[in-house]
Amino acid sequence: MRKVYRGTDIEVSFDLDICIHIGECLRGHRAVFQLDRRPWVLPDEADPDTVAEVIERCPSGALLYRRLDGGHQEHHASTTVTPIRDGPLLVVGEIDVRREDGTIEKLPRATLCRCGHSLHKPFCDNQHLAANFRAPGARFKIHISPVRPRPREPIEKSEDPRRLS
């Protein structure tokens, strides 16, 4: 379920269910994205352009933003699909994703399962790690952090410190 964190100039939303725990958010701006605090996202801790730039690095679409100040909204002129080595398909560009329950969400970025083992299709949920899935593709940089304590194992939602905020 998507949670909303409203700031003065930008609104941020986060859906833990589709996060693939790469850690770009925590690395991107420590004052805006901080785990030992509730809420973990404080959009006003940086200027809106910086918040938007960090969020656009989130590959899964777990983090989205909406500018409230008339600033640039995320937009991609085309849609690209890139296989990630031993992992999901990375989609960048606006797509409508139909979830298993039939609901449709418009996303500007998504990581979609290609190993067949996700318990949350069509999204990747890192079960490819447990399945030891191997396939060629581009490399992802994974940042070890409290949301990704073990690089080669999927993290349970119940272990993620952001589930409560």
Should residue 125 be labelled a site residue for ligand FES when binding is judged by CB under 6 A? yes
48 binds, among ligand FES, ligand SF4, none (CB under 5 to 8 A by kind): none
Should residue 34 be labelled a site residue for ligand FES when binding is judged by CB under 6 A? no
Structure tokens at 123: 């999204």
Q: Which is nearer to ligand FES, 19 or 46 (CB)?
A: 19
Should residue 19 be labelled a site residue for ligand FES when binding is judged by CB under 6 A? no
Whether the Cβ atoms of residue 112 and residue 122 lie closer than 8 Å to each other: yes
Sheet with 2-6, edge to edge strand ranges: 2-6, 10-15, 63-67
Query: What is the closest distance, in whole angstroms, from the C-beta atom of residue 28 to ligand FES in the complex?
Result: 22
Beta bridge partners, 108, equal: none
Contacts with ligand SF4 by CB under 6 A lie at: 19-25, 58-60, 62-63, 147
Q: Which residue has the tokens 């938007």?
A: 52
CA–CA separation, 20 and 127 (whole Å): 10
Q: x/- site string to ligand FES, residues 56 to 95, per CB under 6 A? A: -------------------------------xx-------
Going by their DSSP bridges, the two strands 89-98 and 80-83 should be labelled as antiparallel
Query: What is the closest distance, in whole angstroms, from the C-beta atom of residue 131 to ligand FES in the complex?
Result: 7
